[in-house]
Structure 1
Amino acid sequence: MIHKILHNNILVEINSLGAELIQISKDNINYIWNVDETFWNKTSPILFPIVGRLKNDSYSLNGINYEMARHGFARNYDFTVLNKTENSISFVLTDNEETLLQYPFNFQLTITYTIHIKGLTIDYTVKNNSKDLMPFSIGAHPAISIDSEFKNYSIQFENDSELISHELENENFSGKTNPIKLEEKTLKLNYDLFEKDAIVVKEFQSNYLTIYKHNSPFIRISFDNFPHLGIWTKKDAQFLCIEPWQGYADNENTTGDLIKKEGMLHLLPNEEKNFSISFEIQ
């Protein structure tokens, strides 16, 4: 089901399936990509309880093996509307019989979309309702619409002058890194940058970045509690994914133990943690 909120002349649409953002529009301009399944069938999936791909799509926990697909399962389930106001809407997903077969934890994942004067903020809250320590990762995957030639766009970072990209092979880290120099904190875009999959940065210094179109600010994306970043597109696709993450894919040498997996957070029973991203239309 598609849910809409309209405030400050900004229209936001969210699909209850995956609580997936499908539109941020102002002045009849949609800043989120319209799906073309030739390239990709998503617009802004939520990544939970893992980010990226597990080695062999499996992990172990307390001596038991589990299977889980890339980016987890949250994007595949209908979320329930928890609350709706004039300028906000909250969705919630909790564990069920199917999720427990993949991820043996009782959890609550709450996503709140709030329109503000310049755009949209998305808040993510993960709560551990289990009696045991709960490891998890979470990430966002919004696809920003590209309506001009890709080379006309660039990304300016708040503080970074170089990105160290960790290379992926078969969607796991190979152990190789690729330094990407920025010109005045700016990455000029071209499809060749994504020839080997996403640019994945485990450490960066910026709390926000700004996408420029024809050297003019287009949209700014800010992060809170997301220390890792993916940037991705496909050749000739009309989108650019800006992916703030807490967590990332396995490397080739992983042991498979979920507790020891790099990038995971761990919640105590009844503990919760908050994350957010904001979009400011320029």
Structure 2
Amino acid sequence: MKIEIQNQGFSAEINSLGAELTRLDQNNFNYIWTVDKAFWDKTSPVLFPVVGKLKNDSYTIDDGLFSLSRHGFARDFDFEVHQKTENSVTFSLRENPQTLLHYPFAFELQIGYTLLQNTLVIEYFITNNAAGKMPFSIGAHPAFTIDGAFEDYALVFENDQELLRHELENGLFSGKTSAILLQDKTLPLHYSLFEKDALVFKKLKSKYLTILKNNNPFLKVTFGNFPSLGIWTKPDAPFLCIEPWQGYADAADANGAIFEKEGILVLDQGQTYKASFAIEML
């Protein structure tokens, strides 16, 4: 089911399957890329209860072994519409027999989308309804339209002059890092940046970045309280993903214990975690 929200000439469409953003329009231009399965079959999947790949696609709790695919399962389930107004909608997902096989916790994940003039605010509320502590990660994965040549685009970071990239090998952190020097806080885009998978930055000084097209502001993505960021595309693909994360993939030498996983968050029983980010159309 597709849900549309609108506000003063701007509109957004969200699919209840995965609570996935599929359109973000201004003057009939969609800032979210249109799916071409030759490249990728998603537009903006929600990453929960893990971000990235687990070693051996599994994790342990005490003596129990559980399987969980890359980025978790939230994108695969139909969310209920919890609340709807003209310019906002909130979706809800709770545990079910299928999720409990892979993630043995009672939870509620609410995702809110609100259009405020030219800005879409996305909010996440994760509640632990289980008895005891609950580990989790949460992340966004919006793919933005590249209209024209990829090299016409650049990223301008709020405060960073140099980025520390944590390198991936087969989806896991290899332990290697490399520095990316910016030109006046600016990263010109070219596909060769992504030859070794996504750019992953575990920590940034910046709280937002601006996408430029031909040196003109195109979009602004504000990360809010997400400390980590992934940036990704595929060779020759007409999209760029800007991914605010709370959590990230396993290291190649990870021991698999989910409560010891680097970047994992842990909620006490009855506790709710809140996070948000925003996409501003410029």
**Paired amino acid for 2:67:** E
Distance (Å, rounded) in 2 between the aligned partners of 1:36 and 1:119:
26
> 1 CA distance for matches of 2:191 and 2:275?
30
Q: Deviations over 1:239-276 (max 9, x none)?
A: 00000000000001111000000000000000001111
Q: What displacement does 1:84 show?
A: 0.3
1:25 matched to which residue of 2? 25
Deviation at 1:62, TM superposition (A): 1.7
Taking the aligned partners of 1:118 and 1:253, their CA distance within structure 2 comes to 44
Tell me the residue number matched to 1:143.
143
| Whole-angstrom distance in 1 between the partners of 2:230 and 2:223 | 13
Look up the SS of the partner of 1:42 in the other structure: coil
Aligned AA for 1:38?
A: A
1:243-282 → structure 2 map (5 Å cutoff):
243-282=243-282
SS in 1 for 2:25: strand
In the other structure, the counterpart of 2:37 is 37
Written as runs of structure 1 = structure 2, the 5 A alignment for 1:1-282 is: 1-282=1-282
| Letter of the 1:280 counterpart | E
Q: What SS class does the counterpart of residue 112 from structure 1 fall into? A: strand
CA-to-partner distance for each residue in 1:136-162, whole Å, 9 max, x for gaps? Answer: 000000001001100000000000111
Show CA shifts across 1:82-118 (max 9, x none): 0001110000000000100100000000000000012
SS at match of 1:99: helix
**Whole-Å Cα distance in 1 between the matches of residues 102 and 225 of structure 2?**
26
| Cα distance in 2 for residues equivalent to 1:5 and 1:118 | 13
Q: Which amino acid aligns with 2:261?
A: K
Q: Which letter does structure 2 place at the counterpart of 1:114?
A: T
Contiguous gaps of at least 5 residues in structure 2: none
1:140-190: CA deviations, max 9, x gaps? 000010011000000000001111111111100100111100000000000
Q: Structure 1 residue 225: deviation in Å? A: 1.6
SS of the residue 2:223 aligns to: strand
> 1:6 offset after TM fit, Å?
1.5
> SS where residue 37 of structure 1 aligns?
coil
Identity of aligned pairs, percent?
55
TM-score (norm. length: structure 2): 0.99
Aligned equivalents of 2:66, 2:179: Cα separation in 1: 35
Provide the rounded CA distance (Å) in 1 between the counterparts of 2:167 and 2:239: 21
The amino acid of 1:34's aligned partner reads T
Q: CA deviation at 1:220?
A: 0.2
SS at match of 2:56: helix
What is the RMSD of the two structures over their aligned residues, measured on CA atoms? 0.5
Specify the code of the residue in structure 2 equivalent to 1:277.
F
1:224 match: secondary structure: coil
Distance of 2:70 and 2:159 partners within structure 1: 31
Runs (4+) of structure 1 moved beyond 6 Å? Answer: none
**Aligned counterparts of 1:199 and 1:122: Cα–Cα separation in 2:** 22
SS in structure 1 at match of 2:82: strand
Cα distance in 1 between the residues matched to 2:98 and 2:184: 48
**How far apart in 2 are the matches of 1:194 and 1:119?**
28
Report the TM-score when normalising by structure 1: 0.99
* Structure 1: tracts of 5 or more residues without a match: none
Q: Kindly provide the CA deviation profile for residues 15-68 of structure 1, in whole angstroms up to 9, marking residues without a partner as x.
A: 000000000001111100000000000000000000000000000002100000
Matched letter for residue 150 of structure 1: F
